[in-house]
Structure 1
Amino acid sequence: MKKYLFTILVFLLVFSGTQAQEVAQLTLNEALLYAIENNVTTKNARLETLISKATVKETTALGLPQINGSFNLDYNPQIPVVFLPNQPPFGDPSNPSDVIPARFGVSYSSGIGITMTQMIFDGSFFVGLRAAKTLTELTNMDLSKAENDVIENVKKAYFTVLVNQERIRLAQANLARIDTLLKETKALNEAGFAEKIDVSRIQVQRNNTYTQTQRSQTAWEISKEILKLQMGMPLEVDIVITETLEELNPKENLAQLLVDEGQSRIELDQLNTQIELNQLDLKYNTSQYMPTIDFVGNTLRRGAGNELSTVYNSQNWFGSSLLGVSMNIPIFDGLSKSARIQKNRVTINQLENQRFFLKDSFKNELFTAKANLRNDLNILQVQQENLKLAQEVFDIARIKYQEGVGSNLEVVDADAALIEAEINFLAALYDGLISKVNLEKALGLLKADLTN
């Protein structure tokens, strides 16, 4: 828990003078550390580890002495009657009945005592203790798995915000470019060098570009809200990302991922631990055939009186004590333990089959992730070149139009092609980033860059 305490220093919260809204400036690493600490999934996983530790203590306590105290104060409104035979030499000749009623007891009685039991031998205890410790290991693995899932989701959400920021930048540049072209074309139209249809054509393009800009702005706002939700950050806080895509994705890092063999997956460790738990459950059920031996001891003092005021007189109190060993030997339980053992063995076989499949699926996931990243990087390179070419085509078409050797339609078509190239480039960029995260997951490297 202590290693997460420093994350409270991750964010420098400043206040806007006009809106008084909290703004958190963060990097990817800071976002991940904050999410690990504050996401509800990791919070609950950490609480589950505390539960498992308490379970170990609870199981360990079964092997320690069990001491209980007792106290009672009883009042008999009517003392029970015991019937004795009315026969010589103790009979009462004056009593015509063949029985004599006698009251054995007093109106008030009290007692105080201590009982102690200590387990001497119970084969299932040690198996249960080992199972409780193994459960703690499993909950720690569950915590690591939860952290991996949070990191994966936060990275994808973080990259989505960055891509949407880039989409806004390009959309605003497109809008500025088309506004300039629209202004020039209106001037040419007023001077008689361009037709009204040329202005209308560019106005339509400008309206479409403006709509795209608004959509990009909305997508950016939504992606920030999703990122805050994944991080567990209050939605009232605004976030500002201080990194660029180029800083987060150096080419040498991507090349290294493509040749990395990866690490052991936490999912496989979880399954191995589940198999171990089922094997311990099998041992536990098998140990139920063994006898259990306990030491038992108690000490007791009791007193009585016909009046409440005399119950606690010292002359009316007497002590007793007991020391002994008890053994419980299971003989026949209707074959219930045998049925549980059979279920354990079948479950272990199922988990081993699942482990075999999981290993193969991880190999396939790694192969697919590397293939997708290679493909996405190639597509991204093509789209970058295509974007560069589309920009060149637009620049040439605009120069020709300004010099009177090109048509307005060529400029509008070139602008539309440039916008399409930008959209394709951003889509390829996003796909590449998601493929990078998927490959990091397949390699078991999601937490590799986190500062511990």
Structure 2
Amino acid sequence: MALGILTQYNVHAQTADSEVGTILPLTLDSCLAYAYQNSEQLQISELELAIAKADVGITKAQGFPQLNGSVSYNNNFAIQTQFLPAVFFAEDPNEVDPNAPPVPVRFGVAHTGTASVSISQMIFDGSYFVGLRAARTYTELLQKGYDQSKVQIAEQVTKAYYSVLVNQERQKLLASNFNRLDTLLRETRLMYENGFAEKIDVDRLTVQFNNIKTEKRNTDRLADLSYLLLKFQMGMPISQEIELADRISDIDFDPEFVEQQNFKYQQRPEYGEVLVNQELVQLDLKNNRSQYLPKLTVDGSIGYNTGVDEFSEITNFDEQWFEFGYAGVSLQIPIFDGLRKHHSIQKNKVQARQLELQSRFLRNQIDLEIAQAQTELQNSLDNLESQSENLELAKEVFRVSEIKYQQGVGSNLEVVEADNALQTSETNYYSALYDALIAKVNLKKALGILVKN
């Protein structure tokens, strides 16, 4: 079933207009899966990850041999003129007039060509391996940012989903109360018409009925709005019809979950970001220290060149093309850079200290968040239990009051007061239920387990 739903999602992402009017049954997990797939924020993060992985490949390529080929041809249709002293052309240099002008001559041929292959290979560069590791570590940093964005989306979607569930239950209860009061009001009017009730009894119930009718209408609108909010948080078109497959009764408030002890700070993406940043600073420190080391590179080139007066001769590779080549080694030794490397190293040390303080502060902050979330959830569960008991009592009081009134041994005022108490208990119960659900989400977020791995 889950596979089928996800397949629908893939189709929907491409042809949203064709699915409008089709009602999608959604569990919380399927809502989250849809949100992860369609969130523009996550898509941007995924593209940043892809860019970072490409950068790793670019950095790695610098350590491989760099091989390049070159082919060139020149048509020297006007050979440049050179000027040489006249003495170069005299049979007897002693007889040349010192004031004689230079003699213009042209050196070269009409057609020249070159074909060569060059290669260079880095033998030693201390910053290369550090840079390669830093590029991979930077990818980890972006992954932590992606995970954090995923947590934010999970929090928003889960809270919106729970809001819809609570409003649905509230709608059902108000509909039941509405029908119950409507029946009671009709019976009381009939009793009044037959002389067994007073007009004030009818008026009291009419006021009560009008109040619950208004509350029902407002709750229906609020429920519709909560659906819109859920679809917005999921990145789903507002016009798409959905229904929730989960029920309030399916949600488990595990008491052991409140006191979970197996927490590790690394479960929180933001703490993982600090750790990765610490590693990046250490790598930058190693890179700056490696700048004091020499860099060794070997390179070479081999090729052929030609020069002919007739273009047809340029293809005479056996006689008109001549080999050339070289092989060399280059050693770069840093001597003095104005203390740039020294100050860069000092900067890295300060950054490392700064990140250490940040990690300590974040650990304390996380501890506080967990303690607060645990307290809020425990208080919410206690309040939910109390409000649940009050609701059952209020239902029983109203039931008894209604029976007494129907049997003529109770007053209409007693029924109205019991109904008011019941509605108050219902409101308090669903408010406590929503608070407990939100507190559960907050605790799972604080523990770093809101998103399933």
Aligned partners of 1:73 and 1:109 also within 8 Å:
yes
Match of 1:338 among 328, 339, 342: 342
Match of 2:6 among 5, 8, 25: 8
| 1:148 to 2:121 alignment | no
Alpha-carbon distance between aligned partners in 1 of 2:329 and 2:417, rounded to the nearest angstrom: 97
Give a deviation string over 1:175-208, Cα, whole Å, max 9, x none: 1122112212221222233344433332232222
| 1:280 to 2:283 alignment | yes
Question: Runs (4+) of structure 1 moved beyond 6 Å?
Answer: 4-7, 10-13
Give a deviation string over 1:275-303, Cα, whole Å, max 9, x none: 10111012112212222111101112222
TM-score, scaled to structure 1? 0.87
Aligned partners of 2:21 and 2:240 also within 8 Å:
yes
Q: Which residue of 2 is the match for residue 134 of structure 1?
A: 137
User: Measured at CA, do residues 331 and 77 of structure 1 come closer, stay the same or move farther in structure 2, by a change above 3 Å?
Assistant: farther
Give a deviation string over 1:203-244, Cα, whole Å, max 9, x none: 232222122222222222222233233334444433222232
How many residue pairs were aligned? Answer: 439
| 1:224 to 2:222 alignment | no
Alpha-carbon distance between aligned partners in 1 of 2:160 and 2:210, rounded to the nearest angstrom: 30
Alpha-carbon distance between aligned partners in 2 of 1:41 and 1:20, rounded to the nearest angstrom: 24
Alpha-carbon distance between aligned partners in 2 of 1:368 and 1:386, rounded to the nearest angstrom: 27
Give a deviation string over 1:91-129, Cα, whole Å, max 9, x none: 694895243232223343222211111100100000011
Aligned partners of 2:126 and 2:291 also within 8 Å:
yes
> How far off is 1:308 after superposition?
4.3
Aligned partners of 2:20 and 2:239 also within 8 Å:
no
| 1:257 to 2:285 alignment | no
Match of 1:117 among 116, 120, 133: 120
Match of 1:355 among 356, 359, 366: 359
Alpha-carbon distance between aligned partners in 1 of 2:255 and 2:152, rounded to the nearest angstrom: 21
Q: Which residue of 1 is the match for residue 15 of structure 2?
A: none
Q: Which residue of 1 is the match for residue 164 of structure 2?
A: 161
Give the gaps of 5 or more residues in structure 2: 12-18
> How far off is 1:67 after superposition?
1.0
Q: Which SS does the other structure have where 1:22 is aligned?
A: coil
Q: Which residue of 2 is the match for residue 172 of structure 1?
A: 175
> How far off is 1:76 after superposition?
4.0
Task: Tell me which amino acid in the other structure corresponds to 1:170.
Answer: L
| 1:444 to 2:442 alignment | no
Alpha-carbon distance between aligned partners in 2 of 1:112 and 1:11, rounded to the nearest angstrom: 57
Q: Which SS does the other structure have where 1:293 is aligned?
A: strand
Q: Which residue of 1 is the match for residue 192 of structure 2?
A: 189
User: Measured at CA, do residues 230 and 138 of structure 1 come closer, stay the same or move farther in structure 2, by a change above 3 Å?
Assistant: same
Q: How large is the Cα RMSD of the aligned pairs? A: 2.9
Percent identity reads 42
| 1:270 to 2:273 alignment | yes
Task: Tell me which amino acid in the other structure corresponds to 1:420.
Answer: T
Aligned partners of 1:10 and 1:30 also within 8 Å:
no
Task: Tell me which amino acid in the other structure corresponds to 1:8.
Answer: L
User: Measured at CA, do residues 188 and 432 of structure 1 come closer, stay the same or move farther in structure 2, by a change above 3 Å?
Assistant: same
Q: How does 1:248-397 map to 2 (within 5 A)?
A: 248-250=251-253, 253-264=254-265, 265-266=267-268, 267-314=270-317, 315-397=319-401
> How far off is 1:153 after superposition?
2.5
User: Measured at CA, do residues 99 and 5 of structure 1 come closer, stay the same or move farther in structure 2, by a change above 3 Å?
Assistant: farther
Task: Tell me which amino acid in the other structure corresponds to 1:167.
Answer: R
Moved more, 88-97 or 208-217: 88-97
Q: Which residue of 1 is the match for residue 69 of structure 2?
A: 69
